Amino acid sequence: MLTLDIEELIVESDEMINSHYFIHCHVKDHCCACPRCGQLSTRVHAYYDRVIQDLPINGKSVYLKIRCRKLLCLNEECTKKIFAQQIRCVRPKSKKTDRLEKVILKIATDTSLIEASRTLRQLGIIASKSSIAELLKKNRDFC
């Protein structure tokens, strides 16, 4: 079984599909704080899966299939009744881990978008020119 160097995730299983690794995992923390009021909760409302691209292994793309939870806020005065569990190694709504984004930014700042996309593909990282450009816009201070 493959292992991850991401402390907050527990690997359940892995599989290779069409030369891509899929690592099934879940977040280690059972207790999460409501983003609005800070109240800790362990009360699960629902589960959902997030698929996040991570650093490649031996030139093969790696995707983390993370089982995430939606939790109920236990504070009756809070206006946010349901909230999603946050994953520290992935920004909200991102499709790539923070460490993968850093690699993409490093390569993209040293070359053109076309060359960066080609180089990343050879490394096993799937990133189009437009997604690289969007990432550069979001991280202007990195450049």
Average pLDDT rounded to a whole number, residues 60-73? 96
Separation between Cα atoms, residue 94 and residue 88, nearest integer Å: 11
- Bridge partner list, 10: 26
Confidence category of residue 3, pLDDT binned at 50, 70, 90: confident
Side-chain half-sphere CA neighbours of 136 within 13 A: 20
Q: What pLDDT score was predicted for residue 92? A: 87
Is the pLDDT at 143 greater than 60? The verdict is: no
Residue 99: count of CB within 10 angstroms of its CB: 13
